Amino acid sequence: MKNKLILRFCLMMAVVLSTYSCRQDLIPEQETYHNTSAFHLTSKRISLNESKHKAILLPEIEQIEATFKANAKSSAFGKTVNYGNGVSIDTDNVIFIENGPNFHTYTFTIKRENAQESDPLENLLLVPETDGSYKEFLVTYNLTQQEKEKVRNGEPVDTKGKTIITELAKGSFNSGGQLAKMTCDWQQEIVWQNCSGKKKDGEPWHDQSNISDWGSCSAEVKPNVYIVITGGCNIEELPEVIDYPGGPGSGTGPGGNGNTDPGTPPDDCTIVATDPNQVGIVNPNGCNTGVPTQPNLPTRNNPCQKIKATVNKPQIQDSLIAMKSFAQTSIRTERGFQELKSGTLLSGTVTKKLQVEFGIGPNSLGTIHVHPLKGIAMFSAGDIVTFLHLLREQDASTLGNAYGGMVSASGIYFINFTGTASDIPPAMTEIQEEVYIENLVENYITDKNNLLKLESKIPGQQLSNIGLEKLFFNLLSSMGLDGKISLIKEENGKTSTIQKDSNG
């Protein structure tokens, strides 16, 4: 390997793997290794809009994104990635890690339109510098599909021998348009954090022996696993896969002792910086000082993201504008349309009962309809039954793509299925369904009137949005669909998921 420039500045990466919550503080009380007691990390998912550093970060992110789009190529783990115009940096799901009040990092997911499931996971890591700017790194993980799912679910993944670090700085791109790699020889040690809840014998309830049960830890300090990566870095023309003599993850790289037993401390110590001045130095105790990150792979499109994509379709936007206006009129008939999987919109048919029918079939994707001004401004029992018809026409693997929408003078709501095929109630005959809906409607009206009383209102008045949402969740519970259908509110192009709490 011919080095273009040796940068032995001892940058250390502490890769912290999260637990099962996607927004959870990680506050270790005491690590397995005595020499990692300096870790006092907190980690949570935020959007860039929530960041207090947004004004500084946004221009840097835009510049990085533009650089990637300038026909840059990256070759990692034997695969050449062409970024081109299809690359973007996800600013909605950002991992924000703090180590005290004066040091933090941001980890973004890099998304590509032409990405394959087998492609490496690419993250952008931003580390604060002393002048207030950020040092930029491309962190690439070569993970299996199973490992990627674990990352999505917040489960621990061993990244030994599977990580490449690229500093995105001056000279990052060579004359051939390829990224000049900062490839490092890493020594990794695994550090386990047990749940702070103890059994009578003093042993922890949750540790590395029962990872699948970590989610039930109710103590203040949750169980975690940390992978501490140390080593020196070189900038090269061509990247090199990290592969130690003993094979990936063997722990026999430069400075290593070959020991992968998490119960035995490494030869040297590693701490995380508490301010930008400490990055890359060796402290008086001989400990290397580094920066933390986590593999960032957001969950597959959640219901809110799917509905947001739906309402952003031009033809849907135009139809919603017209339906909003119609919902303000005194006309008592419903109106609506269905979207086919091809993207075509078909108007529904108004029945003698002034309700709209859609003729749902295997090509149907979703429906949106209007509730008149004097109607209940929330999904009705019949609406949920219609949605179940729609679900039965979907493939088991695409159930989450189906949607239902309801437009009223009080607002716009959507529903999306989050269960499995086995959660869908069996189909009924037409007569059975009519009786079933009648019983549901009777309970629905009673529930609505009870909620009106709680709001000091009388029958005929409209419930507040919170009251309407409680009415919806109560209806789901009565149908055995509690937790299987998501309620999403749309307002001025923005979508938000409404969740049921202890108050209903």
The domain segmentation of the chain, as residue ranges, is 5-293, 303-498
Which region among 138-142, 397-401, 472-476 has the lowest average model confidence (pLDDT)?
397-401
Which region among 2-6, 233-237, 251-255, 498-502 has the lowest average model confidence (pLDDT)?
251-255
* 450 vs 430: CA distance, rounded Å: 30
Contacts from 279-284 at CB under 8 Å and sequence distance 24+? 279/11, 279/127, 280/9, 280/10, 280/11, 280/12, 281/10, 282/10
DSSP character string of 431-490: HHHHHHHHHHHHHHHHHHHHHHHHTT--BTBPPPHHHHHHHHHHHHHHTT-TTTEEEEEE
Closest by Cα among 411, 448, 429 to 323: 411
pLDDT band at 502 (very low <50, low <70, confident <90, very high): low
pLDDT band at 281 (very low <50, low <70, confident <90, very high): low
Per-residue pLDDT at 207 exceeds 80: no
Per-residue pLDDT at 469 exceeds 70: yes
* 504 vs 68: CA distance, rounded Å: 47
Region 241-259: what's the mean pLDDT?
31
Strand blocks (E) in 168-223: 181-193
Per-residue pLDDT at 498 exceeds 70: yes
> Torsion-angle region of residue 80: left (phi > 0), alpha (psi -120 to 50) or beta?
beta
- Is 406:369 a contact under the CB 8 Å cutoff? yes
Residue 431: Cβ within 10 Å count = 8
Q: Nearest 5 degrees, angle CA 111-CA 117-CA 119? A: 70
pLDDT band at 189 (very low <50, low <70, confident <90, very high): low
Question: Angle between the 381-392 and 465-478 helix axes, to the nearest 10 degrees?
Answer: 60
Region 230-250: what's the mean pLDDT?
39
Per-residue pLDDT at 260 exceeds 80: no
Residue 448: Cβ within 10 Å count = 20
* 150 vs 172: CA distance, rounded Å: 31
| Per-residue confidence (pLDDT) for residue 471, from 0 to 100 | 97
DSSP character string of 15-52: EEEP-S-SS-----SS-SSGGGTT--EEEEEE-GGG-T
Which region among 215-219, 322-326, 387-391 has the lowest average model confidence (pLDDT)?
215-219
Q: Report the residue count for the chain.
A: 504
Which region among 88-102, 121-135, 308-322, 458-472 has the lowest average model confidence (pLDDT)?
88-102
pLDDT band at 80 (very low <50, low <70, confident <90, very high): low
Per-residue pLDDT at 113 exceeds 50: yes
CA distances to 17, 160, 165, 269, 469 from 280, rounded to whole Å, are 22, 21, 15, 13, 52
% of the chain at pLDDT higher than 90:
33
Q: How would you class 408 by CB atoms within 10 Å of its CB: exposed for 0-12, middle for 13-18, buried for 19 or more?
A: buried
Instruction: Give the DSSP H/E element, type plus range, for residue 60.
Output: helix 54-69
Q: How would you class 197 by CB atoms within 10 Å of its CB: exposed for 0-12, middle for 13-18, buried for 19 or more?
A: middle
| Per-residue confidence (pLDDT) for residue 396, from 0 to 100 | 78
Residue type (1 letter), 306: K
CA distances to 102, 128, 172, 270, 446 from 136, rounded to whole Å, are 18, 9, 10, 21, 59
Q: Which residue is listed with tokens 């309830």? A: 205
In this structure, what token pair is assigned to residue 29? 């009380």
DSSP character string of 77-88: TTEEEE-GGGEE
